[in-house]
Amino acid sequence: MRSVILLQSLAGSTFCHNAATLLECDSVEAERLIEAGIARELLSGEPTELQKATKGRMVPEPVGASPGSPEPQVPPPEQPKRRRRS
């Protein structure tokens, strides 16, 4: 595992990380993010409080309802009432 600091936001269907977040990922993914300019390597002298407070992992996690449950039903927006012509 390698640690990188994100330089910009990164999101997918199962994760969302803000810029300046410490991210732990495998070496291949870390190298890809660094080469693309999305992340930079973690410096050895950076404060550990910041690292602990913003630590993230790139692992799929369910977002919202549990897997297999139906989507929540959202009522359609109300249509504005039409005025009658006189």
Q: Average pLDDT for residues 17-29, to the nearest whole number?
A: 89
78 within domain boundaries: no
In a domain, 62, yes or no: no
pLDDT of amino acid 27:
92
Instruction: Decide if 47 is inside a domain.
Output: yes
Identify whether 52 is part of a domain.
yes
Look up the domain containing 7 and give its range. Answer: 2-57
pLDDT the model gives residue 2: 86
Number of domains in the chain: 1
In a domain, 40, yes or no: yes
Q: Is residue 80 part of a domain?
A: no
Give 30-72 pLDDT, tens digit per residue: 999 999 999 998 887 765 555 566 666 554 544 555 555 565 5
The whole-model pTM stands at: 0.53
Three-state secondary structure string covering 14-64: CCEECCCCEEEECHHHHHHHHHCCCEEECCCCCCHHHHHHCEEECCCCCCC
